[in-house]
Amino acid sequence: MTLLTVDHLLAQHGLLQAVRDVSFEIAEGEKLALVGANGAGKTTLLRTIAGAHRPAAGRIVFDGRDVTRDSAFRRVRNGIALVPEGRRLFTGLTVEENLKLAGRVRREGPWTVDSVCDAFPLIASRRKGRAGNLSGGEQQATAIGRALMTNPRLLLLDEVSLGLAPVAVEAVYRSLDAVLAGGATVVLVEQDLGRALAVADRVLCLLEGRIVLEGPASELSRESIVDAYFGLRHAQEADR
Protein backbone atom coordinates (compact mmCIF):
# COMPACT_ATOMS: atom_id res chain seq x y z
CA MET A 1 0.00 0.00 0.00
CA THR A 2 1.32 3.45 -0.94
CA LEU A 3 1.59 5.68 2.15
CA LEU A 4 3.18 8.80 0.64
CA THR A 5 3.09 10.24 -2.88
CA VAL A 6 5.20 13.24 -3.83
CA ASP A 7 4.03 14.55 -7.20
CA HIS A 8 6.06 17.05 -9.26
CA LEU A 9 7.12 18.94 -6.15
CA LEU A 10 8.81 22.32 -6.44
CA ALA A 11 10.20 24.06 -3.35
CA GLN A 12 12.07 27.36 -3.35
CA HIS A 13 14.13 29.62 -1.12
CA GLY A 14 13.42 32.97 -2.71
CA LEU A 15 14.46 32.61 -6.35
CA LEU A 16 16.52 29.49 -5.65
CA GLN A 17 14.80 26.24 -6.64
CA ALA A 18 15.93 23.82 -3.93
CA VAL A 19 13.61 20.96 -5.00
CA ARG A 20 12.81 20.70 -8.71
CA ASP A 21 9.97 18.62 -10.11
CA VAL A 22 10.50 15.73 -7.66
CA SER A 23 8.13 12.75 -7.82
CA PHE A 24 8.27 9.46 -5.91
CA GLU A 25 6.19 7.12 -3.77
CA ILE A 26 6.83 5.32 -0.49
CA ALA A 27 5.04 2.12 0.45
CA GLU A 28 3.90 1.55 4.02
CA GLY A 29 6.74 -0.07 5.98
CA GLU A 30 9.39 0.94 3.45
CA LYS A 31 12.76 2.45 4.39
CA LEU A 32 13.96 5.05 1.89
CA ALA A 33 17.49 6.50 2.02
CA LEU A 34 17.65 10.02 0.61
CA VAL A 35 21.23 10.81 -0.35
CA GLY A 36 23.06 13.64 -2.07
CA ALA A 37 25.78 16.20 -1.51
CA ASN A 38 25.34 19.29 0.65
CA GLY A 39 22.90 21.66 -1.03
CA ALA A 40 21.22 18.91 -3.06
CA GLY A 41 17.80 19.72 -1.56
CA LYS A 42 17.42 16.85 0.90
CA THR A 43 16.55 18.91 3.98
CA THR A 44 14.17 21.15 2.04
CA LEU A 45 12.41 18.07 0.66
CA LEU A 46 11.93 16.60 4.16
CA ARG A 47 10.75 19.93 5.56
CA THR A 48 8.27 20.30 2.71
CA ILE A 49 6.86 16.82 3.31
CA ALA A 50 6.56 17.64 7.02
CA GLY A 51 4.79 20.95 6.36
CA ALA A 52 7.59 23.16 7.67
CA HIS A 53 8.26 24.59 4.19
CA ARG A 54 5.52 25.63 1.76
CA PRO A 55 5.91 24.20 -1.77
CA ALA A 56 5.71 26.45 -4.81
CA ALA A 57 4.08 23.73 -6.91
CA GLY A 58 3.20 20.05 -6.87
CA ARG A 59 1.29 17.80 -4.49
CA ILE A 60 1.93 15.74 -1.38
CA VAL A 61 -0.55 12.93 -0.75
CA PHE A 62 -0.41 11.05 2.56
CA ASP A 63 -2.52 7.94 3.10
CA GLY A 64 -4.69 8.84 0.12
CA ARG A 65 -5.34 12.44 1.21
CA ASP A 66 -3.88 15.61 -0.30
CA VAL A 67 -1.99 17.31 2.54
CA THR A 68 -0.11 19.87 0.41
CA ARG A 69 -1.71 22.84 2.14
CA ASP A 70 -2.00 21.32 5.60
CA SER A 71 -0.05 22.87 8.46
CA ALA A 72 2.87 21.06 10.07
CA PHE A 73 0.77 20.61 13.21
CA ARG A 74 -2.01 18.90 11.29
CA ARG A 75 0.47 16.62 9.53
CA VAL A 76 1.85 15.54 12.90
CA ARG A 77 -1.71 14.77 13.97
CA ASN A 78 -2.13 12.68 10.81
CA GLY A 79 1.09 10.74 11.40
CA ILE A 80 4.08 12.55 9.85
CA ALA A 81 6.99 13.32 12.19
CA LEU A 82 10.28 15.06 11.38
CA VAL A 83 13.53 14.73 13.30
CA PRO A 84 15.21 17.93 12.07
CA GLU A 85 18.86 18.51 11.33
CA GLY A 86 20.41 20.08 14.43
CA ARG A 87 17.86 18.37 16.78
CA ARG A 88 16.24 21.68 17.91
CA LEU A 89 15.43 20.59 21.43
CA PHE A 90 14.16 22.88 24.17
CA THR A 91 17.52 22.98 25.93
CA GLY A 92 16.15 24.54 29.12
CA LEU A 93 13.72 21.66 29.62
CA THR A 94 14.47 18.16 30.78
CA VAL A 95 14.55 15.16 28.47
CA GLU A 96 11.23 14.00 29.87
CA GLU A 97 9.66 17.43 29.39
CA ASN A 98 10.80 17.50 25.75
CA LEU A 99 9.22 14.11 25.20
CA LYS A 100 5.99 15.03 26.96
CA LEU A 101 5.61 18.21 24.90
CA ALA A 102 5.56 16.12 21.72
CA GLY A 103 3.19 13.71 23.40
CA ARG A 104 0.55 16.45 23.60
CA VAL A 105 -0.11 15.97 19.87
CA ARG A 106 0.36 12.21 19.90
CA ARG A 107 -1.75 9.71 18.04
CA GLU A 108 -2.77 6.43 19.62
CA GLY A 109 0.14 4.01 19.62
CA PRO A 110 2.88 2.25 21.56
CA TRP A 111 5.31 5.12 22.13
CA THR A 112 5.35 6.70 25.58
CA VAL A 113 8.08 8.30 27.70
CA ASP A 114 8.82 4.90 29.24
CA SER A 115 8.93 3.00 25.94
CA VAL A 116 11.16 5.67 24.36
CA CYS A 117 13.57 5.46 27.28
CA ASP A 118 13.54 1.66 27.03
CA ALA A 119 14.37 1.86 23.32
CA PHE A 120 17.07 4.50 23.80
CA PRO A 121 19.26 3.56 26.80
CA LEU A 122 21.37 6.65 26.06
CA ILE A 123 18.69 8.83 27.64
CA ALA A 124 17.08 6.45 30.13
CA SER A 125 19.24 7.67 32.99
CA ARG A 126 19.11 11.28 31.85
CA ARG A 127 15.36 11.76 31.60
CA LYS A 128 15.32 14.26 34.48
CA GLY A 129 18.38 16.13 33.19
CA ARG A 130 18.27 19.31 31.10
CA ALA A 131 18.50 18.70 27.37
CA GLY A 132 21.12 21.44 27.08
CA ASN A 133 23.50 19.41 29.25
CA LEU A 134 23.35 16.28 27.10
CA SER A 135 26.04 14.97 24.80
CA GLY A 136 25.44 15.08 21.05
CA GLY A 137 24.42 11.44 20.95
CA GLU A 138 22.03 11.87 23.87
CA GLN A 139 20.48 14.92 22.21
CA GLN A 140 19.98 13.01 18.97
CA ALA A 141 18.36 10.13 20.82
CA THR A 142 16.06 12.63 22.55
CA ALA A 143 15.14 14.25 19.23
CA ILE A 144 14.26 10.87 17.70
CA GLY A 145 12.35 9.92 20.83
CA ARG A 146 10.43 13.20 20.68
CA ALA A 147 9.28 12.37 17.14
CA LEU A 148 8.31 8.84 18.17
CA MET A 149 6.17 10.24 20.98
CA THR A 150 3.67 11.37 18.33
CA ASN A 151 3.34 7.72 17.20
CA PRO A 152 4.03 8.55 13.55
CA ARG A 153 3.18 6.46 10.53
CA LEU A 154 5.98 8.20 8.60
CA LEU A 155 9.25 9.12 10.31
CA LEU A 156 11.54 11.63 8.55
CA LEU A 157 15.11 11.51 9.87
CA ASP A 158 17.45 14.31 8.80
CA GLU A 159 21.20 13.71 9.24
CA VAL A 160 21.15 11.26 12.14
CA SER A 161 24.94 11.03 12.49
CA LEU A 162 25.83 14.67 11.75
CA GLY A 163 28.39 16.00 14.23
CA LEU A 164 28.42 12.87 16.39
CA ALA A 165 31.41 10.85 17.52
CA PRO A 166 31.55 7.32 16.02
CA VAL A 167 30.67 5.71 19.36
CA ALA A 168 27.58 7.93 19.65
CA VAL A 169 26.51 7.14 16.08
CA GLU A 170 26.79 3.44 16.85
CA ALA A 171 24.68 3.80 19.98
CA VAL A 172 21.96 5.81 18.22
CA TYR A 173 21.74 3.38 15.31
CA ARG A 174 21.68 0.41 17.68
CA SER A 175 18.56 1.89 19.27
CA LEU A 176 17.09 2.77 15.87
CA ASP A 177 17.35 -0.88 14.82
CA ALA A 178 14.42 -1.76 17.08
CA VAL A 179 12.33 1.10 15.64
CA LEU A 180 13.11 0.05 12.07
CA ALA A 181 12.50 -3.63 12.80
CA GLY A 182 9.05 -2.74 14.09
CA GLY A 183 7.85 -1.93 10.57
CA ALA A 184 8.14 1.86 10.69
CA THR A 185 7.98 3.77 7.40
CA VAL A 186 11.13 5.89 7.28
CA VAL A 187 12.84 8.44 5.05
CA LEU A 188 16.46 8.73 6.15
CA VAL A 189 18.87 11.49 5.13
CA GLU A 190 22.35 10.27 6.00
CA GLN A 191 25.82 11.37 4.84
CA ASP A 192 27.30 8.02 5.87
CA LEU A 193 26.47 6.02 2.74
CA GLY A 194 27.33 2.70 4.35
CA ARG A 195 24.83 3.23 7.14
CA ALA A 196 22.19 4.49 4.74
CA LEU A 197 22.52 1.40 2.54
CA ALA A 198 22.42 -0.90 5.57
CA VAL A 199 19.07 0.57 6.62
CA ALA A 200 17.36 1.24 3.31
CA ASP A 201 15.12 -0.86 1.10
CA ARG A 202 15.41 1.79 -1.60
CA VAL A 203 17.74 4.68 -2.43
CA LEU A 204 16.86 8.04 -3.95
CA CYS A 205 19.74 10.36 -4.89
CA LEU A 206 19.25 14.11 -5.36
CA LEU A 207 21.52 16.41 -7.34
CA GLU A 208 20.78 20.13 -7.47
CA GLY A 209 17.19 19.48 -6.40
CA ARG A 210 16.42 16.75 -8.93
CA ILE A 211 16.26 12.98 -8.66
CA VAL A 212 19.19 11.56 -10.61
CA LEU A 213 19.13 7.97 -9.36
CA GLU A 214 16.48 5.78 -7.76
CA GLY A 215 16.23 2.06 -7.15
CA PRO A 216 16.31 -0.84 -4.68
CA ALA A 217 19.34 -0.66 -2.39
CA SER A 218 20.14 -4.30 -3.15
CA GLU A 219 20.37 -3.59 -6.90
CA LEU A 220 22.41 -0.37 -6.86
CA SER A 221 26.18 -0.56 -6.63
CA ARG A 222 28.01 1.77 -4.28
CA GLU A 223 29.90 3.07 -7.32
CA SER A 224 26.71 4.03 -9.19
CA ILE A 225 25.37 5.85 -6.12
CA VAL A 226 28.64 7.74 -5.60
CA ASP A 227 28.69 8.72 -9.29
CA ALA A 228 25.12 10.06 -9.04
CA TYR A 229 25.92 11.74 -5.70
CA PHE A 230 28.70 13.82 -7.26
CA GLY A 231 27.01 14.33 -10.61
CA LEU A 232 29.42 12.08 -12.52
CA ARG A 233 26.63 9.92 -13.92
CA HIS A 234 24.76 12.97 -15.12
CA ALA A 235 27.89 14.37 -16.77
CA GLN A 236 28.65 11.07 -18.49
CA GLU A 237 25.13 10.88 -19.93
CA ALA A 238 25.36 14.48 -21.14
CA ASP A 239 28.59 13.69 -22.99
CA ARG A 240 27.02 10.88 -24.99
Give per-residue pLDDT as tens, 56-74: 999 999 999 999 999 999 9
Q: Sign of torsion, CA 96 101 107 108?
A: positive
Domain boundaries, the chain: 2-239
Q: How far lies 173's CA from each of 93, 98, 168, in Å?
A: 25, 21, 9
Sign of the torsion formed by the C-alpha atoms of 152, 185, 166 and 204? negative
Q: Which one is the CATH code of 2-239: 3.30.470.10, 3.40.50.300, 3.40.50.12780, 3.30.300.350?
A: 3.40.50.300
Predicted TM-score (pTM) above 0.95: no
Strands annotated E in the chain: 2-13, 16-27, 31-35, 57-62, 65-66, 80-83, 154-158, 185-189, 202-207, 210-216
Our measurement of the distance from residue 133's CA atom to the centroid of its chain's CA atoms, rounded to an integer in Å, reads 25
Q: What is the pLDDT of residues 3-62, one digit of tens each?
A: 999 999 999 999 999 999 999 999 999 999 999 999 999 999 999 999 999 999 999 999
